Structure 1
Amino acid sequence: MRRTPVRGPDTAEGERVLILSAGVGSGHNSAAAAVQQACAARSDVAGVQVLDVLQVSSVLYRALLGKGYFVLVEDLPWLVEWVYDISDPPFRRRGPIDPWTRVNALPVIGAIKRFRPTAIVCTHFLPAQLMASLLLRGVIDARTAVVTTDYDFQGLWLTGAFHAFFLAREEGRVELMALGLPPDRVAATGIPIATQLKVAPVRDANEPPMLLISAGATGGDYAVSVVRQTLHMRSSFTAIVLCGRNDALRQRIEQLVAPAGDRYRVLGFTAELPQLLRRADLFVGKPGGLSASECMAAGLPMVLVNPIPGQEVRNGDYLIEQGAAVRCNTAATIGWKIDEVLREPGRLQRMQTAARRTGRPDAAADVLSGLLDGPSRPLVVTRGAQKTILAASERHVVATDLTGPSSLVRLIDSAAGSTVALLRAEEMEDLQKRYATPNGGLVLRRGQAPVSLRWEAQRLLRAILRGDGALPVRVEGLSAPFHILPG
């Protein structure tokens, strides 16, 4: 029985944007909220819905993926780093979604059917992988975007089908293009963050520098060590300490700084963060993707402490490379490190300039524009192309330099000019036998023909043809001229 795809309403009635996240940490949901906020600024968006996919999954699944992650971060950070590194090669995981994840995805599929989106934005790799599966199976027919939430590209995010892929920085875009991904499907927009204040609060130049010390959304105990070391600093400063939702931590720090009088202000969870980011002179805390992006957009340099192995370490490397941050690797020297920044003439100002240069305050709006104004057909990366990209990555070879049967080839929509498929050269055989035209081109078509298609080619056609009966395409080889076999 032919599956009927879930199609959204005519976009003439307005776009319906579904934003899918996963509550593993606060960053993914914060990015989703930022995209939701950007939707409100567009007149062509008729409806928007945000869904945390873990909140509609089973309690066990949610606990293992959500709470389990933080248990590992706290108790087994070396394991977190090992998992991050082993899952970093692109397309290491291929094939269908495992049965347990598929069962837990059923409520998400139900939400899609009820909302009928014309566009889907994924701010976590779990829903991104699910949407790729649904696109290839013909279950959905909505423009789909993958939005990464850390500065460094991690291969786990790359899926076999999507309309647009958004990265935090240009180096990630260059990396994906070296893997063979086409430039019309990959953009470096920055990480989506909430709208920043248009005008920074006025500060008295005679006031001492203000530190913004953050324990993170959940309130990490490392903040106690940070605050304790600042008590020994020689520089004049004031500090605001953010303890998140950890009331016990807030009380401990309040007792710790009580002898310092009004130099410290200790807060729990606060809605004042946008104002505080613009008022502060130096941020002290972890380099989470969203925290770092918000600081950079506010021109607020960072002192990095206690980064999570993997993504946060790489975030920190990038910020240090840009001159917008310094890292402290031991609690014993935190106060000294901050003192060094504050006491060196002009250093804090140079770091603030670097932060402003690095910031991307319009990332959420750019993601929406790139998706809604971009190609209507998805890009499909076949299993063969995925194997080529993975093998090249493991051998430290650039995939676009490969030649021969395993080299990469793109199919380009002749009318729209957008890339619709990335596949191996040897995978072209089926398509050439069936769809080659006398002038050396291809016209992909639905229906039967004397030459039967393999399953992978059927998936490709189902995804890129959508509701159309035919699609003229041209072939583009990435490493050397590619010649169509005679029809």
Structure 2
Amino acid sequence: MRKKRVLLLSEGFGSGHTQAAYALAAGLRQLSPDVQTRVLELGKFLNPVLAPLIMSAYRKTVGKQPKLVGMMYRTNYKRSFNRFTQLAIHRIFYTQTEQVIQQLRPEIIICTHPGPNAAVARLKRLGLDIPLYTLITDYDAHGTWANTEVNHYLVSIPVVKTKLMARGIPPERIEVTSIPVHPQFWQSQDQAEARSELGLKNMPTVLIMGGGWGLMEEEDGFFTYMTKFRDKVQLIFCSGTNEKSRESMLADKRFVHPNIHVLGFTREISKLMDAADLLVTKPGGMTCTEGMSKGIPMLFYKPIPGQEEENLEYFVSSGFGEMMHSLGTIDRWFRQIQEPYSSGQHRQRLQSKSSQQYDPLECPTAVLRLMK
């Protein structure tokens, strides 16, 4: 009997969209051996020369002109892609999409980025007869996600469902499933055991992340300030794919210490979260959801104007984290994690809250149900 094929389409604008696609794919395979998945960053797959140039330009804009990114996000917030825009996107980036679909022959298509979502929606309007599901990977619903051809939306929280309904999407086609995380994050490991396996000391530990693109240049001195605690607090800096940032840190004497670890790209984020007492991160939808699944307290810094601001608002208002406004915020949290009883009690409360509000199996389970 042929396995059911699921095609997941994303784009590499940030890493969260593609991480969500891989997380959902892994969850589907974990729950059902009858499912075969394929994840593609569609624009990069179809345009291997042009796509990296576009991604690089976007990354530089985010780093150097975040206000411009925010202005573009807000200006088009209520607008979906009209038919002319869909046609333009198709001709520039997605001309071979139909051929890819015909070759892979999926039973369903799941999009985790508005670009492929618009491309497949256009093909459905022209006669493609394959169910299209859309997984929104943030805690907000930008207008570009909305397409009447989408068969079903999978969203993070009820507020996102309400926003889609306001854009004309029928409520029966929207399901609140949370954002999926990889099965590695479905359960937590004993903290001391995780530290031992990672070669870390069994002491108060802070994990500092900057998303898939790694730590950006610090304008506020927060990271450098954290090194003042290095004799009492273990610091793990994850620079992701930002090798320039990693090299800069390793060349700085303030970051050279037995209790400071500067990592590049790693697949051990789940275990690192288990080992840590505090997560310092940008409020990307995926990283925050992974942190919530682990029940780890989070400190947020430098949200990209737009969706990261919406993510920040949700996690702060829900009690899972706090904005890092000042050095005083760092002082307060770094003191707290040095008090084992207080720190342990706080994490237990977050883990209890997480188990009540977040079910990592909900999204893949919903997809399997829709496929029947």
Q: TM-score range by the shorter chain?
A: 0.7 to 0.9
Q: Which residue of 1 aligns with 2:198?
A: none
Equivalence map 1:267-416=2 (5 Å)? 267-329=263-325, 332-333=327-328, 335-336=330-331, 338-339=333-334, 342=337, 346=342, 349-350=345-346, 353-354=349-350, 356-357=353-354, 358-373=357-372
Aligned partner of 1:192 among 180, 184, 191: 180
Q: For 1:337 and 1:141, how far apart are their aligned partners in 2?
A: 56
The sequence identity of aligned pairs, in percent, is 27
Q: For 2:238 and 2:2, how far apart are their aligned partners in 1?
A: 44
Query: Cα distance 1:43–1:218, how it changes in 2: closer, same or farther (>3 A)?
Result: closer
AA partner of residue 226 (structure 1)? F
Q: Which residue of 1 aligns with 2:95?
A: 106
Q: Report the Cα offset of residue 242 of structure 1.
A: 0.9
Q: For 1:46 and 1:335, how far apart are their aligned partners in 2?
A: 45
Tell whether 2:246 aligns with 1:250. yes
Q: Report the Cα offset of residue 337 of structure 1.
A: 5.1
Q: For 2:336 and 2:369, how far apart are their aligned partners in 1?
A: 39
| Aligned residue-pair number | 359
Q: 1:101-149 CA deviation, whole Å, 9 max, x = no partner? A: 33421222211011111100001011111111111111x2111101011
Q: Report the Cα offset of residue 180 of structure 1.
A: 4.5
Q: 1:66-120 CA deviation, whole Å, 9 max, x = no partner? A: 22221211121111111111121153x3224133533421222211011111100
Q: For 1:152 and 1:158, how far apart are their aligned partners in 2?
A: 12
Q: Which residue of 2 aligns with 1:36?
A: 25
Query: Cα distance 1:42–1:259, how it changes in 2: closer, same or farther (>3 A)?
Result: closer
- Contact 1:57–1:105 (CA under 8 A) maintained in structure 2: yes
Q: 1:192-214 CA deviation, whole Å, 9 max, x = no partner? A: 22112534124389954210011
Q: For 1:259 and 1:174, how far apart are their aligned partners in 2?
A: 46
- Contact 1:253–1:266 (CA under 8 A) maintained in structure 2: yes
Q: For 2:104 and 2:180, how far apart are their aligned partners in 1?
A: 23
1:240 counterpart SS class? strand
Q: Report the Cα offset of residue 178 of structure 1.
A: 4.6
Tell whether 2:44 aligns with 1:55. yes
Equivalence map 1:128-277=2 (5 Å)? 128-138=117-127, 140-195=128-183, 196=185, 198-203=187-192, 207-222=202-217, 225-233=221-229, 236-256=232-252, 261-277=257-273
Q: Report the Cα offset of residue 303 of structure 1.
A: 0.5
Aligned partner of 2:115 among 110, 114, 126: 126
Q: For 1:100 and 1:19, how far apart are their aligned partners in 2?
A: 19
Q: For 2:32 and 2:343, how far apart are their aligned partners in 1?
A: 44
Gaps of 5+ in 1: 1-11, 374-487
TM-score (norm 1): 0.67
- Contact 1:219–1:243 (CA under 8 A) maintained in structure 2: yes
2:257 counterpart SS class? helix
- Contact 2:249–2:255 (CA under 8 A) maintained in structure 1: no
Question: RCO higher in 1 or 2 (8 Å CA, sep ≥ 6)?
Answer: 2
Q: Which residue of 2 aligns with 1:433?
A: none
Tell whether 2:60 aligns with 1:71. yes
- Contact 2:155–2:175 (CA under 8 A) maintained in structure 1: yes
Q: Report the structure, 1 or 2, having the larger helix content.
A: 2
AA partner of residue 120 (structure 1)? I
Q: Report the Cα offset of residue 15 of structure 1.
A: 1.9
Q: For 1:353 and 1:52, how far apart are their aligned partners in 2?
A: 38
Q: Report the Cα offset of residue 241 of structure 1.
A: 1.3
AA partner of residue 37 (structure 2)? V
Q: 1:146-202 CA deviation, whole Å, 9 max, x = no partner? A: 101111222221112111101111221233335443332101111122112534124
Q: For 2:234 and 2:257, how far apart are their aligned partners in 1?
A: 11
Bigger CA radius of gyration:
1
Q: Identify which range, 208-217 or 274-283, moves more after superposition.
A: 208-217
2:109 counterpart SS class? strand
Gaps of 5+ in 2: 196-200
Q: For 1:346 and 1:87, how far apart are their aligned partners in 2?
A: 45
Equivalence map 1:395-474=2 (5 Å)? none
RMSD: 2.9
- Contact 1:56–1:107 (CA under 8 A) maintained in structure 2: no
